[in-house]
Structure 1
Amino acid sequence: MNFIGNIIWLLFGGIISAIAWSLAGLILCVTIIGIPFGIQCFKISVFVLWPFGKEIELGNFGVGGLIFNVIWIIFLGWSLP
């Protein structure tokens, strides 16, 4: 069932979303400060291609992670699906 769900997802928007996340990752990797965000965009891009049957693991990054998450939401996170 996961395979069928992934194929349907690819046909109805998964490829476009993965391309958008990859482009965002490339743009962010232009600057030194944006490289960690760009790497995460590439990880999200791979996840968006085949979402069914995968799990997301959340990490505990403390105050630094909170600050970077706020920066991410303000500058890029809100604009992508």
Structure 2
Amino acid sequence: MNAADAPCKSAGVNTEITNCMFNAWKTADAELNRVYAQSRQRLEGEDLQRLIVAQRLWIQFRDANCDAAYGLYGVAALGQWCARPV
């Protein structure tokens, strides 16, 4: 967020920052999904299975990390990237 090329560097008030960060997250998520789908199309056999297993394990890690953050810090810690309903 403080990097020179950060997408929300010029956002001022909290509402602008929240909207900007949400839009930046949506853009990054779309790019991640595009690259993941492209990778799945290019891989086959064991390589494809390893990618799928790694993705599923990453989702488990993300959810466990969100649960831990929620337990420690409450709703404010969840952010847009946590799958846990608020």
The TM tier, using the shorter chain, reads 0.3 to 0.5
Q: Which gives a bigger RCO, structure 1 or 2 (Cα 8 Å, sep 6+)?
A: 1
Q: Give me the TM-score of the superposition, normalised by structure 2.
A: 0.34
